[in-house]
Amino acid sequence: MTVFTVSSHRLDTAFVVQAGGELDYAHAPVFRAELTRVWESGTPATVVVDVAGLTFCDSAGIAELIWALNRSRDLGTRLVLAGVHGILERILAITGLRPAFELSPTVGEALNGA
């Protein structure tokens, strides 16, 4: 059984969404539900998705990240992926999606750029 965790918290005008474990087909709906909850709580200026804790990401996870990017653009929200590494970093590079996302090494640096 794969493990996935997601949680979020507000910091001033930003939300930080922390994802850990395996973002795959089985867990993509949980990830989307958390992001939807964040945006429905009042459109934040910035949403930082902390992916440093991800150990795996499949095509369904990538599709959710693309959905989040499109949703943020529609709402005028800045979306930052923080802590991209490992398989997610490789997938973004191989697919050519890396330039589409704003990336930051850490959540703190992402928030300082807000």
CATH, range 8-112: 3.30.750.24
Q: How far apart are CA 92 and CA 99, in angstroms?
A: 9
pLDDT of residue 114: 56
Q: pLDDT digit string (tens) for 72-114?
A: 999 999 999 999 999 999 999 999 999 999 999 999 999 997 5
pTM of the model: 0.94
Please spell the DSSP secondary structure of 38-83, one letter per residue: HHHT---SEEEEEEEEEEEE-HHHHHHHHHHHHHHHHHT-EEEEES
Is the model's pLDDT at 16 over the cut of 80?
Answer: yes
